[in-house]
Structure formats: structure tokens, C-alpha cells
Amino acid sequence: MDKKLKIKNKALLVIFEFGIPPYRTFLLEYFFKSFDRVKFIHNEERFGNFSVAGAAKSPNFRTIKEISFTYVNIFDILKSDVIVTTFNIRKIHTWIFCFFFPNKKWIFWGKGLGQSNNFVVRFLRKTLLKISKGFVVYTKEGKDKLITMGYPLSKVSIAYNTLKIANCELTNDEAKYFLYVGRLQKRKELEKVLYELQFIDTKFLIVGNGDLKDELLDLVDKYQIYAKVDFLPGVFEEDKLKKLFSNAIAYISPGAVGLGVVHSFAYGVPVMTSILNKNHGPEFSYLNDNNSFLYEDDLLSQMKLALSDEKTRQSKKKEAFRFYNENLSYQNVINAFEYQFNKLLNETNHTRS
């Protein structure tokens, strides 16, 4: 940013549903630099012991069906001028304190307030929407749902779930392979790609770590497709990722897609996935027929299309990169929170430096 918002004599508390995601570092650094006092409450789940300045690990207590509660010191709440919480109905600590401290400046952050329509969830949703002073949602669809629930438009801002990718560029090197980058998980349904490779002459590069690798190797052996599949361990360096994506025909994940969409679009690579999968992350909403190869249950036909119709593939590449440029810049995330802070805190307490 050319100009940074500096909020004088104010304290910010951020309550995470899990641990601290490493890909959020750019945003947490912004929080830390903007407020005089900042604390990040987390429990290390999913992201291990990754930490940043201001982080405070708290004990987590599990119950049933993924319901859990992370300890939050009420004095941290009392001392905070603004509280950002990554709302999750199953993570009680992300919303229960709103009922005890309804006059604090609560900002919810996440997909929305859930889809369940049972009485308890409806009551919680209605009450929490009244208490909250703002909501930062991942997608336009999430924003629209809040508004249909009667939530004021002025309280909502969109921060697409994204990454800070410094070397983003519309790459256009020789297309050599279909690509998957990420954890080797069952929900990605990579076995479907291996099956289709029996009927098409192309290569598939799988980049990532996970317990599923042995199962995938067994399928390569079963289908006798050794020459068509290569495995690489997880890659995290931006320059290496850019090189991998620059030679990709498409990023392919028949099952759930997530932040891999952001990396793919950052380098102008279309995504190939099924629209029928119910495990997609919010990033699935970034995909459309203009920037991706979407299908119901015929993966092979889309792979053949990507290989045979270069004009279509190039058009999708440009649209993928355009979507990234217009919506997924990390600065847009910062702007969404800055809007909330400006709205909630007295402008006389702000200075620009």
C-alpha cells in the first residue's frame, strides 16, 4: 500500500476457529501494523505451530461432531476495541462471547452464517446478525445471502479468500501437462484423472505430499500409465510454483477445489473440475465457463477439449488471469477490512502515514 491506516490507541483481538493459516500472514501483518495492540487467539488445529507476532495459542476442548471450544480470556475481550472472529457455528468460541459482550465491536469473517434451518441455528443467526457491527465475507454470493437475511448492505464487505502472490503473471509457455498442486487427499478425487489417462495421450504432473500417494501409485501400476504420470513433493516457493504452472494445460482437481484456484488463476491457468462435487471450498465460486473447464461427470471430454482447442484454452487463460487481477489481489482483502475499521472507529482517531 502507498498509504497505511494507523489506528491510534486502539486494540484489536482476532479469534481464529483453528490455528493461524500461513497464507494469512500478509493480512495479519497489516493488522499488527495498523493497531497499537493486537492479539491473535488460535489453537494450532490444521496449521500446526505456525505463528506470527501477536499470536497466542490457547487450549482447545473437543466435544462431538467437530464441535469444540478454544479458551479465550474475557479480559482480552474487555480490553479490545474491535474483535474480528472467523465465524464457525461448530467452533463455539467464535460466537458465544457475542452474547456476553453484545456492545463490543464484533466483525464476523468467513463464508456466512451457515445453511442449516433448524430452530437453534435460526435463532443464533438472527441474534448474531443483530449483535455484529460488520461482516467480511469470502464471496459475492455470501454477501447476497446476508442481505436477503436483512443484514444492512453498509455492514458487509467482500474479501475473496486469496493468497499474496508477488510474481503473478499471465504465463504462456509451452503447455506440457495437466497439473495438480496441493495435498494428496481423497476428497480431490485424483484417481479419476488416472483412470481417464488410459484413454488419452497426455501427461499428468502431481505435486504434493500426503498419505494418498501410495494409493495413487498403485493405480498408476494398475492402469499401466507409468509414462503419463509424474510425482513431485510439495512445492511452496513462488518462483518454482510459477514455473510449474507456466507449463500447465490446466489445473485439474475433479473433487474439491480450494486455494489452488487462486494460484492457478494468478498465472493464467484455467481450472478443470466437476460442478457436482459438494466438497468445494468457497473458491469454487470464482469458476465459470469463461475461465475454467467445468463438467458434470464427463472429465475425459474436457481433457480432450483442453488438448485439442487451443483457441478456447487461451481464452480461458486470459479470463482466469483477469478474474485474479480484478478480484483476488491481496490488497482487496486489506481494503475490505480497512472499510470495516474506518466505519467502526472514530475517524478522528485515524492518521495516514
Domains and CATH numbers, the chain: 5-162+329-352 (3.40.50.2000), 177-327 (3.40.50.2000)
User: Which band of pLDDT confidence, cut at 50, 70 and 90, is reported for residue 122?
Assistant: confident
Please compute the mean of the pLDDT values over residues 195-199 and round it to a whole number: 98
Q: What is the DSSP letter of 253?
A: -
User: Can you spell out the DSSP letters for 75-90?
Assistant: HHHHT-SEEEE---TT
pLDDT digits 0-9 by tens, 178-196: 999 999 999 999 999 999 9
pLDDT of residue 347: 47
Q: What is the pTM of this model?
A: 0.85
Rounded distance, CA 232 to CA 223, Å?
20
Rounded distance, CA 351 to CA 159, Å?
23
pLDDT of 353 strictly over 50 = no
Residue 48: exposure state from Cβ atoms within 10 A (0-12, 13-18, ≥19): exposed
Q: Which residues pair with 105 in a beta bridge?
A: 82
Rounded distance, CA 61 to CA 132, Å?
25
Query: How many C-beta atoms surround the C-beta of residue 171 within 10 A?
Result: 18
Please compute the mean of the pLDDT values over residues 288-310 and round it to a whole number: 97
Q: Which three cell numbers stand for residue 219?
A: 493405480
Measured CA distances, 311 to 17, 128, 245, 274, 308 (Å): 44, 49, 19, 22, 9
pLDDT of residue 310: 97
pLDDT of 2 strictly over 50 = no
Asked if 270 and 292 touch (Cβ cutoff 8 Å), the reply is: yes
Contacts with 245 (C-beta within 8 Å, 6 or more apart), sequence order: 171, 179, 181, 251, 263, 264, 266, 267, 269
Please compute the mean of the pLDDT values over residues 41-70 and round it to a whole number: 91
Residue among 251, 268, 286, 291 nearest 161 (CA): 286
